[in-house]
Amino acid sequence: MSEPDEQDVDRDKDDRSERHRHEVRKRVAGRRLDKFIRHLHPRESRTAIQRYIKQGLVTVNGLPTKASYEPAPGDVVEVVLPPPPPSRLVPEEIPLDIIHEDQWLLAINKQAGIVCHPANPYQTGTIANAVAFHADQLSQGSDPFRPGIVHRLDKNTTGVMLIAKSDESHWRISRQFERRTTRKEYFAVCEGSVKRDGDIINKPLAPHPETTQRMVLPTSNPPRQAMFKEAITEYRVEKRFNGFTAVRLFPKTGRTHQLRVHMASIGHPLVGDGMYGGHTISEADLAGQGSSEPVFEYQALHARRLTLVHPILETTLVLEAPYSDRMTRLMELLAAHRSL
């Protein structure tokens, strides 16, 4: 049996990464560099080690090399191991527009441009970070980076969003969503003149197999591996304008991008929703003069009202969120310049 390889460890105080120095005492036939490092750092996967080697985080005698290199006696192998990912959410002082709060629930009027929770342990600046700073207690669930998050809104969708402060309120609200006993109402402005005053769109949706950023509808040649799920939306026309229609949307299911895809599927994408065929519009577009800056650079969609049974008090709770400044401005421009 060979003697243990010598090792020095130095922690980088700036990025918390660990720098390890190993001196090879004996060649072992067939022992590649990635296997050599894996033996000394068993917590790191071989795939991760191979990635570190490609990134230049591993050197032999001060030079980068390949994973297939076989260390020789006297070689000095230096390894920089990235810091472990955070194990808990970092509270951040981000302003919240609170529309309801009690000891069990928090409801906010979500602003545009902010995601609901981190997509990875390193992401910050989310609603979850903000509520972790605001509330002394939140429901935990199985994901430490989503405390209190009961449901989600798209990054640029504004309006009512619920946060649970206790595990009991969380599972009771979640059960209402699962049983579809809550009533969700959205407000949107779409392109074109919607023919019917109201209708129900029943079209299943699936994530696009090549990107998680888009949803797709069934076609004669559906994408491979597309897993379609039921998606139902009721819409009602609220007000008609020349070239545009304001609608109320009532989702019966809660699929990603459901309202945006469903309205686009009937030929009326939401204003500003470039992902699904919508276009940005400006004051100059609507009035023939004024600013050319887009009123909406994203989908004109707002979660206006959410009705549910309070999870603890068992009383009817109606939560309403005022329109954003951009939505208010868009409606003012339409009323002034595109009124029928």
| Sheet arrangement for strand 76-81 | 6-11, 18-23, 76-81, 58-60, 63-64
Helix boundaries (H) for the chain: 33-40, 46-54, 127-134, 167-179, 258-265, 283-287, 325-337
Question: Catalytic: which of 34, 75, 154, 273?
Answer: 154
DSSP secondary structure, 70-111, as one string = ---TT-EEEEEEPPPPPSSPPP------EEEE-SSEEEEEEP
Tokens for 32? 């590649």
For residue 263, give the nearest of 223, 226, 303, 217 by alpha carbon: 217
Neighbours of 36 (CB within 10 A): 24
Rounded-to-10 torsion of CA 135, 142, 41, 120: -60
CB 235, CB 250: distance < 8 Å: yes
Q: Is 154 among the catalytic positions?
A: yes
DSSP secondary structure, 230-241, as one string = --EEEEEEEEEE
Residues with a known catalytic role: 154
